[in-house]
Amino acid sequence: MTGVITGAVVAIARLQYYDADGTLSTDSSMGSLSLTSIVLISAAVGGQFGLMPDILEPAKSGNWRHRKFFHSYALLALLVWFTYQTETNLGLDDLVRHFFTVAAAGYVSHLLLDSRTPAGLPWV
Ligand SMILES: [Zn+2]
Structural domain count of the chain: 1
- C-alpha 99 – ligand 1 centre gap (Å): 21
Residues, Cβ < 5 Å to ion ligand 1: 53-54, 114
User: Which pLDDT belongs to residue 28?
Assistant: 58
- C-alpha 117 – ligand 1 centre gap (Å): 10
**Alpha carbon separation from 70 to 27, 46, 86, 103, 123 (Å, rounded):** 33, 16, 20, 14, 11
| Burial (Cβ within 10 Å: 0-12, 13-18, ≥19) of residue 51 | middle
User: Which pLDDT belongs to residue 30?
Assistant: 73
For residue 43, tell me if it sits in a domain: yes
- C-alpha 40 – ligand 1 centre gap (Å): 24
For residue 81, tell me if it sits in a domain: yes
* Ranges under pLDDT 50 in the chain: none
Domain that holds residue 18: 2-115
For residue 121, tell me if it sits in a domain: no
User: Which pLDDT belongs to residue 17?
Assistant: 84
- C-alpha 101 – ligand 1 centre gap (Å): 20
User: Which pLDDT belongs to residue 25?
Assistant: 54
